[in-house]
Amino acid sequence: MKRNPDRLIDRIRLKMATATVCKEVRPLLRRIQPNLIYANSVNAVVCEGILQALRTTYLPGRAPFLIAELPFRCEPSPRHFYGQQLAAMFRRLKRSAARQNTAVASNPLDRFAPITVDQQTASLLAQTVDAEIGVLPSPYAVRTRRQLVAGQPPQPLRIGSVGHQRESKGFHYLPAIFETLSNLKNSIQWVVQHQNDSDPTTLEKLRQMQSQGFQIELIDEELTRDAYEQLLLGLDIILLPYKPEHYQSMISGICYEGLSQGNIVVAPRHTSVGKIIGEFQPLSPQFDEWTVDSISTALDAAIDSATSLNAAAIQGASLFAQAHGPDAFASAIASKAVDDVAFKAF
């Protein structure tokens, strides 16, 4: 995200990264032999790398259909160049298509469909890349939804950090966040899922805090899908203390699942994750800086307004269910919608 495609050295580095993606994807294509590829939340390097792999692996007209979900456009940043990278990729693809259209071989890009998850986002991205962007719903969702007693604040309030823990997801910040919020009048139960490769220093701090009386539940087992959904059902707030720079062009499955189930979701504001939360939970507090203070302030606000935010989150889940989830996605991708999102600009 820090590579500016207007700088020669960065263009070279981006080209090398794209070539690496192509090299890694080609063996997968040969082994799997897909008819259709759905690439979730891909940045420009991954998208172009897959297209290069398709061009170099298949004969003209034989390539599988590629649906590439481009994430929410984020706030402009002088340090990160996701939008510029996408725009540069589309310019290259258009030039390539123009050259191939004059040749005998058919253009493999006629089976490329760049899409996003709603019309507003598609329109914004289309302005950025000067190309047509289709719309398909997100497949992420859970099958269950939280049931709350109206006006009754949960006791204790269960706040969870779940999924695969790593530094870019803010796992190392959790002990300091818990300590910062330790004097709240609300009763808090912290729930932390972790894995064998999670940072051992952070885990040791969390275990020490348990022995000091902090209400921390550590879950260190690989969960089945049903058990994972039950874990989410038991949470009131899902904390996503993610590094904003890392989520400029990524979406989070946990974010979608939390929205679909009706959890309050707290996350970085100016990111692809923050944009989707803003659509379905516009009142949920979000943080601006990747610091303990900024994350704790947003989480404190969510705790303080948990009763009203819970009701709003349940309403947001109903809206989410109308537009997204596996049923909506399967229905769309099995219908003529795939033809409708095909990229007409090439």
What are 251-256's contacts with CB under 8 Å, separation 24+? 251/40, 251/41, 251/71, 251/72, 251/138, 251/140, 251/276, 252/163, 253/140, 253/163, 254/162, 254/163, 256/138, 256/140, 256/141, 256/324
SS3 call for 302: helix
pLDDT single digits (tens) 226-265: 898 899 989 999 999 999 888 877 888 899 999 999 999 9
- Asked if residue 185 has pLDDT above 70, the reply is no
- Asked if residue 105 has pLDDT above 60, the reply is no
pLDDT single digits (tens) 288-330: 999 999 999 999 999 999 989 998 999 999 999 988 988 888 8
pLDDT single digits (tens) 42-74: 889 999 999 999 988 988 778 888 999 987 766
Give the tokens for residue 235. 């949470």
- Asked if residue 190 has pLDDT above 70, the reply is yes
Average model confidence (pLDDT) across the chain: 87
pLDDT single digits (tens) 71-100: 776 666 777 788 889 999 999 988 887 777
- Asked if residue 171 has pLDDT above 80, the reply is yes
pLDDT single digits (tens) 11-31: 999 999 999 999 999 999 999
With cut-offs at 50, 70 and 90, classify the pLDDT of residue 338. Answer: low
What proportion of the chain, given as a percentage, has pLDDT over 70? Answer: 90
- Asked if residue 345 has pLDDT above 50, the reply is no
